[in-house]
Amino acid sequence: MALALGAGSAYADDRLDAVAAMASSGRVSYLGFDCLAERTLALAQQRRRADPGAGQDRRIGRLVPLLGEHLARGGRVVGNFGAANPDAARDDFARGLRDLGLDGVRIGVVHGDDVRDLVRDLDLELPELGTTVRALGDRVVSANAYLGADGIVEALAQDAQIVLGGRLADPSLFVGPICHELGWAPDDWDRVAHATMVGHLLECGVHSTGGNYEDPPYRVVPAPHDLGFPIGEVDDGSVVVTKLPGTGGRVDAMTMKTQLYYEIHDPAAYLTPDVTADFTGLEVTDLGDDRVRIEGARGRPRPDLLKVLVGVDQGWRATGEMSYGGPGCVERARRAEEVLRARLDRVLDEIDELRIDLQGVDSLFGDRMPGGYPAEVRLRLAARTTSPEVARTVAHETELLYFGPAGGGGNVNAVVPALGVTPAYVPRELVEVGVEVAAS
């Protein structure tokens, strides 16, 4: 019998109604929750810097009641809920489970992704920034390695019903359960590549049921407001992807192919912590009725290096926006830009980065995509500085555009900490992964 796994989320603030439907359906043994991306992990690090008890996924309290029926049936949950604070995520789960009367649920925590001390000791190069970790000193506030499925498998082997961690790699959330349940060795490269393909199809949630396939008027799917999350029915060598009946979206050969090439860079060498996967020989068969069979993944040994996401304190980010509409809106917005640049000249030496765009005109394509004169345009300023006073000055100047040029409206502005993220790479043998399993 095939192992059935379902997507639970694709990012930190994903909708929860689809989770409730999946958890109560009885269709899946495992629910996998991808809760992280570079941006969301950086935001989690910011929350933990402000509050040592924060930094975990903020939905856990609302999520646990939706999982009660699934857990009571013996279903399992795997997710990178921990973000910047896995122990706090465990405590949130335990508290919510006790409130539901579900005592004794075993929760596994995968540790080891926090490698800040290691990257400092190694003085890792930061290629995007053209410097090293030590050169930045205390500005390096976090470093998280992308961990694979090994810790998940170990926690499941210790009868954990919920497995969570920090920066567990997206497809690994499903590779772990598949390898555990089907007894696949971590160096059985073709099988691990197959499990990785399944994980890639599930971890982006509604993208596999039409989310990133829709391109009106050329491509549309039914009921895009109610897209169902995907389900993978895994056998040795193939998977059938489907969704809950009655949900929106579509599972067909085209939605599957669209997701297969999404965010993998090189389909002949998709690098993950678990395997180097080759998807170039995949066979996609549309079975009809929202069911598609996919097979043919091949694998080679996993990379010797693990990717690390390094968080760097870059001071403060100031943003401000103002809209202009009707005849002359572009010219008035250009004049507003002139005003801003002149007003900011006095603090320009303290601004590390400054950008002003006219959204709807040049913010994406510059002058490479000319079109007709717009009916409206929105000016947007963004600046980065180490001075909070300068940041507040920059943001406030956009509000003062109410006083000219004429017709400006809808100002919003903000000043927030600027935590940049940049990649580095560390030998995998230096990253120590640990697993703790305890009852709620």
User: Which tens digit of pLDDT belongs to each residue from 353-396?
Assistant: 999 999 988 888 877 666 788 899 999 999 999 999 999 999 99
Considering the domain architecture, whether residues 28 and 75 belong to the same structural domain is answered as: yes
Q: Would 121 be classed as within a structural domain?
A: no
Domain boundary residue, one of 303, 326, 361: 303
Residue 173 φ/ψ, nearest 5 degrees:
-60, -25
Cite the DSSP H helix spans in 318-402.
Answer: 329-344, 388-399
Query: Are 397 and 340 in contact, with CB atoms under 8 Å apart?
Result: yes
Considering the domain architecture, whether residues 288 and 414 belong to the same structural domain is answered as: no
Domain interval for residue 271 = 3-112+147-303
Provide the token pair at 159.
């009868």
Q: Would 36 be classed as within a structural domain?
A: yes
With tokens 């941006």, the residue in question is 39
Considering the domain architecture, whether residues 336 and 252 belong to the same structural domain is answered as: no
Considering the domain architecture, whether residues 55 and 191 belong to the same structural domain is answered as: yes
With tokens 């919920």, the residue in question is 162
CA distance 270 to 435: 27
Contacts of 122 (CB under 8 A, 6+ apart): 133, 426, 430
Considering the domain architecture, whether residues 40 and 80 belong to the same structural domain is answered as: yes
CA distance 301 to 193: 10
Q: Would 142 be classed as within a structural domain?
A: no
Strand partners, 323: 378, 409
Torsion of Cα atoms, 366 then 367 then 368 then 371, to 10°: 110
Considering the domain architecture, whether residues 211 and 173 belong to the same structural domain is answered as: yes
With tokens 């949900």, the residue in question is 247
Residue 43 φ/ψ, nearest 5 degrees:
-65, -35
Q: Would 433 be classed as within a structural domain?
A: no
Query: Are 299 and 275 in contact, with CB atoms under 8 Å apart?
Result: yes
Considering the domain architecture, whether residues 94 and 243 belong to the same structural domain is answered as: yes
pLDDT score for 369: 62
Whether pTM exceeds 0.85: yes
Contacts of 284 (CB under 8 A, 6+ apart): 253, 256, 257, 260, 292, 293, 294
Provide the token pair at 90.
């465990």
Question: Three-state SS for 48?
Answer: helix
Considering the domain architecture, whether residues 72 and 204 belong to the same structural domain is answered as: yes
pLDDT score for 364: 80
Overall number of domains in the chain: 2
The gap between the terminal CA atoms of the chain, to the nearest Å, is 31
Q: Are strands 376-385 and 305-325 parallel, antiparallel or unpaired?
A: antiparallel
Number of other residues whose CB lies within 10 A of the CB of residue 176:
29
Strand partners, 292: 241, 286
Considering the domain architecture, whether residues 218 and 106 belong to the same structural domain is answered as: yes
Considering the domain architecture, whether residues 208 and 357 belong to the same structural domain is answered as: no
Number of other residues whose CB lies within 10 A of the CB of residue 287:
14
Query: Which amino acid, one-letter code, is at 28?
Result: V
Considering the domain architecture, whether residues 349 and 218 belong to the same structural domain is answered as: no
Q: Would 267 be classed as within a structural domain?
A: yes
CA distance 50 to 52: 7
Q: Would 72 be classed as within a structural domain?
A: yes
CA distance 231 to 63: 19
Provide the token pair at 357.
């765009």
Tell me the average confidence (pLDDT) per consecutive run of 10 residues in the chain, 440 residues long: 93 91 95 92 88 95 95 96 97 96 95 96 95 95 96 98 98 98 98 98 96 94 96 97 97 96 93 98 98 98 97 96 96 97 97 95 76 90 98 98 96 95 96 95
CA distance 96 to 164: 15
Return the biggest CA–CA distance within the chain.
70
Q: Would 100 be classed as within a structural domain?
A: yes
Query: Which amino acid, one-letter code, is at 214?
Result: E
Considering the domain architecture, whether residues 91 and 184 belong to the same structural domain is answered as: yes
Q: Would 125 be classed as within a structural domain?
A: no
Question: For the domain that residue 361 is a member of, what is the CATH number?
Answer: 3.30.70.100
